Structure 1
Amino acid sequence: MPSLLQKLLLGIPLACLATGHALTDSVSSNYKIDVHSHVVPPIWREELISAGYPVKNGTLYTDGFPVSNWTLDSHITTMNSLEVNYSTISVSAPGVFFLKEAKKAKSLARRVNLQLHKYTRTYPTRLGALCLLPLPYVDEAVEELKFCLDTLGFVGVGLYTNANGTYLGDKSLDPVFSALDKRNASVFVHPASPECTSVANGWPIPMTEYPFDTVRAIENMLLTGQRAQYPDIKMIFAHGGGAIPFLATRIAGMASLPWLGGLSVPESLAQLAGYYFDTAASTSAIQLAALRSFVGTDQIVVGTDYPYVPASQASAGLSAMQVNGNFTTVEMGQINNLNALKIFPRIVKALKLH
């Protein structure tokens, strides 16, 4: 029996979805693809505790923020309650870069990825996995990327804004970007803690430093030329791009100074806006107005950040999005599913829409 999404999209050629020429009238605007949800595999939790991350009253904390007592069943139950039909799952920061030896990071990344694969095999029409890479260890990361995409068939790859201070844009990461580019891979970028955590004044790092670390990564990719070298890789940045909609003009203006490369302001602005951005913790009227002005509705995708954002908050954000963003039904269709299908051709394949 065809799934709900198959019924909704029957007759739409794969080429239409892949190129963005979606027939919006044929797709339910309510079908939601959540590109930003997390899992907490027990093996990952155990390694974090072994590495010394604090546990207070039975709750594990990373970057000053509580880690949910997640289960696969609770994830699916929450998806149902949020009316989310399909989710990409990834591991939040600190990934495996808290392990300071390449061999250990590689081993844990492999074990976690096999667990993610098991989750998606259990719910193949509900979940798609994003590969966890053992960065900043580049050779090991490329090997794991190939395993996840070529052997396990993951729908995409998860990256962090930085891994132990190695930011996206760093020349050392070129082999990773080359491998992504070769495979036309889809990438989700989640912020990580910067090394200057003392500036947070003891408050949780995700509160303000995560949004600014997103800016650091996007800025670095511009100034080092890495994004210009690999412009075709489809990349999603979390949390509405952090502060980038507000700071893009400032960055582009300063990047035009001769001693910073003398880059063209229009070209820099186009590059800074050349990504996709999810709505996790970014559904207020002010945030959506900025995001809509910066990139338009064809580059906005749904993100909940569950379970780090509680289901009650995620539900409120999803419910308020159309009104707060002043989006039409057609535009909500783009945001809820069509943009994600354009980014992730492997989801189209997994749902047998081709």
Structure 2
Amino acid sequence: MTLIGIEEHYLTAEVRDAWDAIGLAATDPSAGLHSGVLERRLLDLTGERIALMDETGLDIQVLSLTTPALHDLGPQSLDLARRANDAVAEAVLRWPNRLQALATLPVAMPDEAALELERCVRTLGFKGAMLCGRVGDRNLDHPDLFPMFKSAEALAVPVLLHPRTPASAVRAAYYSGFTPEVDAAFAMYALGWHYDAGIQFIRLMLAGTFDRLPGLQVILGHWGEVVLFYAERLAALDRVSGLEQPIATYLRRNLYVTASGMFLPGYLAQASAIVGADRLLFSTDFPYQYRPGGDARRFLSECGLAEPEKKGFAHGNWMRLTGTGSA
């Protein structure tokens, strides 16, 4: 059974150097995470990457630029985005049966970002885009950023909302008071990242984005970035939201959920109950959650889904979502 991982990351040396040039790690510690083995695996687009895919049992990786992507880089991000996307397109051409890609966008310039997404989809054959939360002090529901989502709906491609580190004021209020190492981990991969990504999705929903763009499809990793665990409480917003549909409708109509290497059957079962088995996507969150020994293939075999739903989870749902052949 073909196994496609849809949240698998890369980095380019040029983007890393651009982060370093503006001292980004001082305000977003995730920019300083990428060193040693992690950096080597992120920078490698084909050689070791393909071997490690074989080791864990993954047939195809869908590549996306790791967090915090280009969200803090201003006007220079336009050329950076084009060069990063072109580099990934070259890797996909070398390994067309093993690699696919999501576009990275110059989000500081939303109109140009919409055009870059169109170029990536129509010319380079990319399957969608990935966004990493806030753009400066703007949340993703800010009216300035709407052109990116409008373009995604028009192109019929999904947008993966990836976590990023909460704003400095939020970190100071909620994720500080321990050692610097603990504060940073608490604000990032332990919890803060995931709350932040989930809140971005909820904001898009409450802002009426899915009423204006009913065909827009958004993907959340890590089994829904906490959102699904509070679906019942979020439904209470129906009394006050003024939206056209109940919250539960948007969760089943506009949201896909992926594993991000969290190989826990209980989480999968809960996600399936809320969004539907036809909206489950597989991913390993390479290289952050990389575990050798056929781990991805083992989770698929033991996940508890019936065979048709397992096939959808492994590859069919992604193929249907992106129009890449028969599921």
TM category, shorter: 0.7 to 0.9
> Are residue 223 (structure 1) and residue 202 (structure 2) matched?
no
After TM superposition, where is structure 1 displaced by more than 6 Å over at least 4 residues in a row?
Answer: none
- Which deviations, in whole Å up to 9, do the C-alpha atoms of 1:22-65 show, x marking residues without a partner? xxxxxxxx21011110112222222223332559xxxxx62564
Query: What is residue 268 of structure 1 aligned with on the other side?
Result: 247
Q: Residue 203 of structure 1 aligns to a residue in which SS?
A: helix
Query: What is residue 335 of structure 1 aligned with on the other side?
Result: 313
> Are residue 148 (structure 1) and residue 120 (structure 2) matched?
yes
Q: 2:162 aligns with which of 184, 187, 190?
A: 190
Q: Residue 174 of structure 1 aligns to a residue in which SS?
A: helix
> Are residue 47 (structure 1) and residue 7 (structure 2) matched?
no
CA distance in 2, matches of 1:262, 1:219: 14
What's the CA shift for 1:243?
0.6
Q: 1:86 aligns with which of 57, 60, 66?
A: 60
What's the CA shift for 1:300?
0.6
- Is 164-173 or 273-282 further displaced after alignment? 164-173
Q: 1:280 aligns with which of 260, 263, 273?
A: 260
Q: What TM-score do the two structures reach when normalised by structure 2? A: 0.86
**8 Å contact from structure 2 (residues 118, 155) kept in 1:** no
CA distance in 2, matches of 1:250, 1:143: 38
> Are residue 121 (structure 1) and residue 93 (structure 2) matched?
yes
CA distance in 2, matches of 1:125, 1:316: 21
Structure 1 residues not aligned, in runs of 5+: 1-29, 56-60
What amino acid maps onto 2:216 in structure 1?
A: I
Query: What is residue 179 of structure 2 aligned with on the other side?
Result: none
Structure 2 residues not aligned, in runs of 5+: 177-182
Q: What TM-score do the two structures reach when normalised by structure 1? A: 0.80
> Are residue 95 (structure 1) and residue 66 (structure 2) matched?
no
Q: Residue 188 of structure 1 aligns to a residue in which SS?
A: strand
- Which structure would you say has the larger Rg? 1
- Which deviations, in whole Å up to 9, do the C-alpha atoms of 1:194-226 show, x marking residues without a partner? 212332231321220121112211211121101
What's the CA shift for 1:322?
4.4
- Which deviations, in whole Å up to 9, do the C-alpha atoms of 1:141-174 show, x marking residues without a partner? 1221122122222222222232224223222222
- Which deviations, in whole Å up to 9, do the C-alpha atoms of 1:319-341 show, x marking residues without a partner? 23543x42122221110011011
What amino acid maps onto 2:287 in structure 1?
A: P
> Are residue 238 (structure 1) and residue 238 (structure 2) matched?
no
Q: What is the aligned-residue identity percentage? A: 22
Q: Residue 199 of structure 2 aligns to a residue in which SS?
A: helix
Q: Which has the higher contact order (CA 8 A, sep 6+)?
A: 1
CA distance in 1, matches of 2:211, 2:242: 15
What's the CA shift for 1:255?
4.2
Aligned residues: 308
Matches within 5 A, 1:1-354: 30-53=1-24, 62=30, 65-67=33-35, 68=38, 69-70=40-41, 71-72=44-45, 73-99=47-73, 101-102=74-75, 104-195=76-167, 196-198=170-172, 199-201=174-176, 202-204=183-185, 205-257=188-240, 261-263=241-243, 267-274=246-253, 275-312=255-292, 315-316=294-295, 318-323=297-302, 325-345=303-323, 347-348=324-325
